[in-house]
Structure 1
C-alpha cells in the first residue's frame, strides 16, 4: 500500500508539481489550514515576502509535526500570494521545501488581492497523507 503521485501522459510534465494524488484506503489524511508568516503570538515576522514565505512553511511543518507527519508527507499545497508580493522571492524562498522525495506534490497557486492577516503576503495550506503501520 502506498500513496501515489501521478503525472499522466498528455499533461505537462513538471519537476515542480504532479497532477493527481491517490491515497489508498487506510491511510491517514491530514489537512493543514492556512498558515501565514507569523510568530507564535500572531505577529508578522517581516514585511519581506521571502521571509514570510519561509515562516509560513515552517508553521505548516510545525502543524504537521504535531500530528506525527512532516513536509515529506504533503501531497498537495495551496499557495496564496498577495498581489503586492514579489512572486519570485516569495515562491523561490520555499520552492525546495515544498518539494517531495520522488514525485512532486500537487500545487495550486493564486495571486490574490488580500489575505486574512493584515500585511500578510503569503498563505499556505497543505494536505498530507501517511500510512501508519
Structure 2
C-alpha cells in the first residue's frame, strides 16, 4: 500500500500523527467500530487508562487481523475518552503501539461525558486501507 503523509507543520510529529494521509488507488477500505477495553465475552475490563488503551489496541488489532489488515494499514484513528488529562498521561502507550507498527494516522481526540459502560475511559475507532 502506498500512502503519503501530509504535514504542513512539524509539531504533530512528536504526537505520532499526521494532519492528513493520502492513499492513491487503494483497493479495500475497512471501517472499524470503536474498540474499548472489553473481554472476548463482552465485559468491560477494569484497569487504569494505560491498561484500557492497551486492551483497546489489542482488540483493534484483533479486528484488523480478522479482516486481513494490520495496524500499519490504519490511516485514521479517532479517540474518545472520558478524560483528556488521563489520556495524555498514558499517551506513551499510544506512541508505543503506533511506533512499533510504523503507523502515522490522521487522528482526532475528543473528550466525552461517558462511553457505553460506566468504567470505560477510552474507545478507539479506526479506518484502514490496502
| TM value normalised by structure 1 | 0.83
Q: Which protein is richer in helix relative to its size?
A: 2
Contact 2:46 2:119 in 1 (8 A): no
Cross-structure match for 2:24: 24
State how far apart, in whole Å, the 1-side matches of 2:11 and 2:84 are.
Answer: 29
SS of 2:72's partner is helix
Give the direction of change, closer, same or farther, for the CA distance of 1:17–1:94 in structure 2 (3 Å limit).
closer
Q: Count how many residue pairs are aligned between Structure 1 and Structure 2.
A: 127
Q: Which residue of 2 aligns with 1:52?
A: 52
TM alignment of 1:27-42, pairs within 5 A = 27-42=27-42
1:47 Cα offset (Å): 3.3
Distance 1:3 1:53 in 2: 26
Pairs within 5 Å for 1:61-72: 61-72=61-72
- Is contact 1:5–1:75 with CA below 8 Å preserved after alignment? no
Partner of 1:114: 114
1:98 corresponds in structure 2 to 98
| Residues in 2 aligned to 1:88 and 1:19: alpha-carbon distance in whole angstroms | 19
Offset, 1:95 = 2.2
Secondary structure at the aligned position of 2:88 is classed as: helix
Task: Give ranges in structure 1 of 5+ residues lacking alignment.
Answer: none
- Tell me the residue number matched to 2:129: 129
Please report how far the alpha carbon of residue 116 of structure 1 lies from its aligned counterpart in structure 2 after TM superposition: 1.6
Counterpart secondary structure, 1:95 = helix
With the length of structure 2 as denominator, give the TM-score of the two structures.
0.85
Match of 1:43 in 2: 43
CA distance in 2, matches of 1:39, 1:27: 32
